[in-house]
Amino acid sequence: MVMGHIRGFIDHAREKAGAPAVEERIAHYNEFAGRLADDALQRQSARCMECGTPFCHALGCPLANCIPELNALFHTGRWQEALDRLHQTNNFPEFTGRVCPALCEAACTLSINDAPVSIRDIELAIVEKGFERGWVVPQPPARESGKKVAVIGSGPAGLAVAQQLRRLSHSVSVFERDRRIGGILRYGIPDFKLEKRIVDRRLDQLKKEGVEFHTDVLIGEDISVRYLYNNFDAICAAVGARTPRDINVCGRGRDGICFAMDYLKKSNMYVSGELAEGRIISAKHKNVLVIGGGDTGSDCVGTAIRQGAKKVYQFEILPRPAEWNNSWNPQWPAWPDILRTSTSHEEGCERRWAVTTKGFHGKSPRVEQGVFAEVEWYKDYSGRMKFSEKPNSEFTLSLDLVIIAAGFLHIERGRLFQESGIELDQNNYIRADSRGRTTMPNVFAAGDAVTGPSLIVRAIHQARNAAGAIHDYLTGNTRT
């Protein structure tokens, strides 16, 4: 593939799409992220050097998207070819183009001493042009293999497994315990980052390809594991890692303290019309604390602000990352450990780091006050990071709502795992090899249920590997 512009990385600077003013965007839950115009994106694609070792492709992107090739196709106006090439490695670029943190950009060779190519913006532009032009069409198989696969879970991993296997001619049934398909895409990510119409249009493609979806079905309760074993040739568990990390402190059981996913799920259900406003966990006119400094915590911040919170705080027990205002990556080609400010943080949030939660109090059953302290981090004799409370650093905060976004621990151990014989590892994730093969010959696994909580790109990558292993199992291929 010929480079789009040999001096592009010299002649053109990185450009960034704007966003509406805070006051405008917090008045609704719709997506608001700006999009670069086609001519600006062409300039960005021209910045790709097509370097001899494309770290963006080989190291940065878990899906191994052929990024230099995509940039060259895009730059020369071969948009449909670019879309076809993108879909060869990524089932859902419209999802990753919105919510992936862009590991590829951190690994871009330009990031050694300059701003990277706007890879994620280009990827999103390619797939959106594909939907706009009608190039994203169902691809049902030409024949039927006669083999049946059950996929448990309809998040990004479950959907990717289902699409891959259906296109390989197998009958695929996806079982989802919630009332609508999409898993974390639908119930965990707010609409201001991923509108659900984006999820639904891809689901429409899968349905037209012949994937069958069954909702409100909890395996082990509504359908037995024995039923799956008797009626399907293979099973893939893509159930995610839903068990949240709790904080064991005095007053944890008070009303007004909830987990992040419970909070976000109900909010998303309200936005989609599934739930009345009176049944959500509302931050309106409340002092809100989000415990946890990751992306999920950031999503809770943005949601609370849109609900009309009086004041929003976000506390993180880890130390404050280093500030970095330069455009290049100080830890190239690795993902840099630097302070990140999301659009939700920009909308109004007081953030603090190295703070531990000591307890909650109130005259009524509801939480009214939190007790906290600052901590200092240090390495113990073995090199492990530990913390201790700073003397005389305790403080209190008036609170009406506390949202725990401290991460996730492991899968939920329901009857599916009690009755299926699927073996778990020491961390209570499904024990599986790099291709998703479990200790049961006809059972496979993919996504966070195997790796632990991770990124959507890693979930799709795991799913594609698992789909390949399932296809080999169904067709008698014994490759390793």
Q: pLDDT by residue (tens digit) across 220-238?
A: 999 999 999 999 999 999 9
List the CATH number of the domain containing 312: 3.50.50.60
Give every CB contact of residue 299 below 8 A, 6+ residues apart in sequence.
188, 189, 190, 193, 260, 264, 344
Residues 420 and 384 in one domain: no
- Of 192, 402, 405, 408, residue with least CA distance to 281: 402
Give the pairing type, strands 234-237 and 148-152. parallel
- Is residue 68 domain-resident? yes
Is residue 46 domain-resident? yes
Indicate whether 361 and 435 sit together in one domain: no
Angle CA(278)–CA(279)–CA(283) in degrees, nearest 5? 75
Q: Which residues of 146-185 are buried (b: 16+ CB within 10 A; e: fewer)?
A: ebbbbbbbbbbbbbbbbbbbbbbbbbbbbbbbbebbbbbb
Q: What is the band of 275 on the pLDDT scale with cuts at 50, 70, 90?
A: very high
Same domain (yes/no): 288, 228: no
- Assess whether 259 and 236 both reside in one domain: no
Rounded CA-CA distance 190/33 in Å is: 13
Whether 307 shows a pLDDT value over 70: the answer reads yes
pLDDT of residue 420: 84
- Whether residue 141 lies inside any domain: the answer is no
Residue 459, in any domain of the structure = yes
Same structural domain for residues 258 and 378? yes
Q: How many whole angstroms separate alpha carbon 92 and alpha carbon 397? A: 43
Q: Where are the beta strands (DSSP E) in 141-279?
A: 148-152, 171-175, 212-214, 234-237, 243-244, 257-259
pLDDT at 3: 54
pLDDT digits (tens, 9 = 90+) for 58-101: 899 999 999 999 999 999 999 999 999 999 999 999 999 999 99
Same domain, 256 and 400: yes
> What is the band of 6 on the pLDDT scale with cuts at 50, 70, 90?
confident
The strand pair at 385-389 and 369-379 is best described as antiparallel
Q: Which domain holds residue 15?
A: 8-133
Last residue of a domain, one of 390, 406, 422: 406
CA triple 268-274-277, angle to 5 deg: 70
Rg, C-alpha atoms of the chain: 23
Note whether 289 and 397 are within 8 A (CB): yes
440 in a domain, yes or no? yes
Question: Secondary structure of the chain: what % helix, strand, coil (to 5)?
Answer: 35, 20, 45
Tell me: do 363 and 306 sit in the same domain. yes
| Phi, psi at 202, each rounded to 5° | -75, -35
What is the pTM (predicted TM-score) of this model?
A: 0.95
322 close to 337: Cβ distance less than 8 angstroms: yes
Residues 30 and 114 reside in one and the same domain: yes
pLDDT tens digit sequence for 160-192: 999 999 999 999 999 999 999 999 999 999 999
Find the CATH number of the domain harbouring 48.
1.10.1060.10
125 and 43 part of one domain: yes
Alpha helices in 290-435 (DSSP H): 295-306, 343-346, 415-420
In a domain, 375, yes or no: yes
Distances (CA, A) of 354 to 16, 284, 319, 390: 32, 28, 5, 10
Per the domain annotation, does 142 fall within a domain?
no
Show which of 133, 162, 194 is a domain's final residue.
Answer: 133
Which residue, 71, 103, 133, sits at the end of a domain? 133
HSE, side-chain direction, 13 A CA sphere, residue 98: 19
Question: Which of left, alpha, beta for 317 (phi over 0: left; psi -120 to 50: alpha)?
Answer: alpha
In a domain, 51, yes or no: yes
Residues 6+ apart with CB under 8 A from 326: none
Q: What is the mean pLDDT of the chain?
A: 95
Residues 16 and 163 in one domain: no
Split into its structural domains, the chain has a count of: 3
Whether 188 and 103 map to the same domain: the answer is no
Mean pLDDT of the region 438-452: 95
Same domain membership, residue 197 and residue 95: no
pLDDT attached to residue 413: 82
